[in-house]
Chains A and B, each alone.
Chain A
């Protein structure tokens, strides 16, 4: 079955610390992959996307993600977290109808 797994429901990091959010997918081919962020009361905003080519992709707000085919993973990273990064992060891939298939999300809390 096609699915996205985000194993961490909630992560807390200190401001200034590095961050890695995990994402694994199950799909028959190489999917188009996305990370979205949702701040409280806000809609979903695209952070970055991967279609093909360079497996390390850069996004907005200093985020990057690396596609690893052998591990079926697309982990999101940021070298230094800011308090404003506190939000919920969703990994997704594009399904057969062009719809997005999302993971359950990882909630990020940032300690001062």
Chain B
């Protein structure tokens, strides 16, 4: 497939459990972005990677959230000790390059719907 893929598509977990969300970007895309979409907050930016490096983690909602990217490809967003307010759709996007002046399109994956009971 040529698009951004995410897994799982749906995840139901119990409060307090840890979850891992995976994103496979388009091959060759060096930039990777994580967003969260919820009813109350709309689409929020969480973190981005240029290669394997995340220059700024200040968009992550709390220290329970972490993300990594390996081999300049797959990225994992981990939420520890999940809370009900973490319930949302987590979207991943990739683009050829990053930066404010980048004209490259961000291509979005279908998202992972996380439900915390």
A residues with a Cβ closer than 8 A to B are: 32, 36, 41-46, 49, 51, 90, 92, 94-105
Contact = CB atoms under 8 A, between A and B. Distances in A.
A46 B102 contact: no
A100 B45 CA distance: 7
14 contacts: A36-B108, A42-B110, A43-B91, A43-B111, A44-B91, A44-B93, A46-B105, A49-B103, A90-B43, A92-B43, A97-B98, A99-B48, A99-B59, A105-B43
A44 B102 contact: no
B99 interface: yes
Contacts of B35: 99-100
Contacts of A98: 31, 33, 48, 95, 97-100, 102
B106 A97 contact: no
A110 to B, nearest CB: 23
Sorted nearest first, the 6 A-B pairs with minimum C-beta distance are A98-B98, A102-B43, A44-B108, A99-B45, A43-B108, A104-B42
Contacts of B110: 41-43
Which secondary structure dominates where chain A touches chain B? loop
Interface residues of B, number: 28
B56 interface: yes
Contacts of A44: 91, 93, 108
B109 interface: yes
B55 interface: yes
A97 B91 contact: no
Contact of B100 (A46, A90, A94, A102): A94
Contacts of A45: 108
